[in-house]
Amino acid sequence: MKQKEWAHIIRNLKRSFEAVDCYWHECLPGQETAFEISEQQLRKEVNEALVKLNSLLKNL
């Protein structure tokens, strides 16, 4: 795997972990701030990161 592809995977994983770090169970959709996100937004961001990761892995 090329270094650029690894960097892309690491970046997506980092974004997922950052999203988890700012998740707050009482935050409602549409009320997200720079410091907290809703469960719905967390699921969306993690799903997008996993789709991108899966796509990269299929192209190996």
**DSSP state letters, 1-60:** --HHHHHHHHHHHHHHHHHHHTB-TTPPTT---SS-B-HHHHHHHHHHHHHHHHHHHHT-
pTM over 0.95: no
Residue 3 lies inside a defined structural domain of this protein: no
Structure tokens at 58: 């299929």
- Mean pLDDT along residues 8-33: 81
Lowest average pLDDT, out of 1-5, 15-19, 37-41, 49-53, goes to: 1-5
Cβ atoms of residues 24 and 53 within 8 Å: no
Note whether residue 19 is domain-resident.
yes
3-state DSSP: the chain helix, strand, coil percent, rounded to 5? Answer: 65, 5, 30
Q: Judge whether 9 lies within some domain.
A: no
Domain hosting 28: range is 15-52
Amino acid identity for residue 27 in this structure: C
In a domain, 46, yes or no: yes
Total count of domains within the chain: 1
Q: Domain for residue 6, yes or no?
A: no
pLDDT of residue 1: 59
Average pLDDT over residues 29-36: 84
Has residue 48 got a pLDDT over 80? yes
